[in-house]
Amino acid sequence: MTQTSTDTLRPIGSLCRDSGVPTRTVAKATAIEGAGIHSGMTCRVRIQPRNAGEGIAFTRAGRNPVPATWQFANAEASDRRTVIIGADGERFEQIEHLMAALYALGISDALVEQEGPEVPFLGGGSREYMDALRQAGVVENGGQFPVLHIEQTASLEDGGALLTATPHDGLFLSAFVEFPGTVVGNMGFTIGINPENFYDQVSQARTFAVARDIEALRARGLARGGNLQNAVVFDETRYHNESLHFPDEVARHKIIDLLGDLALLGCGLNGHFWAWRAGHRSHVLFAQKIARECRLDP
């Protein structure tokens, strides 16, 4: 892995704490239950209101909350899902689709009480979370959500993955996948992030897998809750699903993953973030690189 130097004279971005963007939380608690994609076990989350400035955090049975931020994200554990780990070793897995839904709706503060090893997978994207959160209500809670403005290009290479951030007014995401020799081939998607765009164009895009990889994943304790309703499965010549939600569903799902992982920065984002052949490990490494270069430590 190679990455640009963090010893720069000027940070790649600046954090505007008096941003004019209001902090938001849920108006009331909402509970969501479903099978976990990897464990196959029934999992449950209860998303509760939180005060301004407290951020997004996960907890179990009244234990100390673990902030869903880059400091607690574990890149090495983030294989096929994003994992945060508390100081006492408490793990919360598969948080990225919920994190994307929270960010897309502008929810800056919420406590997620989790039962089970991972977050429910539901339809394989973020739509069911957005629906539940909207039904609970999204309200301002009296604070200012800081916004990070990318001011110069930053990049990170991780194996075959490449991630780049460039200055832009608003938040734009681009994701590109390459599966040579399969029906997917090379595919990409770009979107400006706001609640309506994300809900209509991306939130229903499901996770995906190459058919030949599924047995090996399950042997490693992964993908045991996957099926053709919550995942796109493909091989060299065809999709195994009866239909797709979008012709480029695989690339659109990568937008969900990228947004959920960038939400670990714990602030609003202004910039264009690009990801080529990237996964959760490289997303987390990039978020951590940006945080350190922009000096986001409190």
Measure the CA angle with vertex 91, ends 118 and 99; round to 5°.
55
Residue with tokens 């020799």: 181
Q: Which of 64, 127, 82 is nearest to 286 (CA)?
A: 82
Cβ–Cβ under 8 Å, residues 233 and 211: yes
Strand partners for 49: 110
Burial readout 66-76 (b: 16 or more C-beta within 10 A, e: otherwise): bbbbbebbebe
Closest to 276 measured CA to CA, from 147, 190, 215? 190
Query: Angle CA(264)–CA(102)–CA(134) in degrees, nearest 5?
Result: 175
Q: Are 157 and 2 in contact (CB under 8 A)?
A: yes
The catalytic residue among 149, 253, 280, 283 is 280
Neighbours of 5 (CB within 10 A): 6
Dist CA 298 CA 293 (whole Å): 13
Measured between alpha carbons, how far is residue 132 from residues 87, 143, 240, 246 in Å?
A: 30, 23, 29, 23
Catalytic: 272?
A: no
Measure the CA–CA gap between 9 and 140, rounded to whole angstroms.
Answer: 37
197 residue type, one letter: N
| Residue numbers annotated as active site | 280
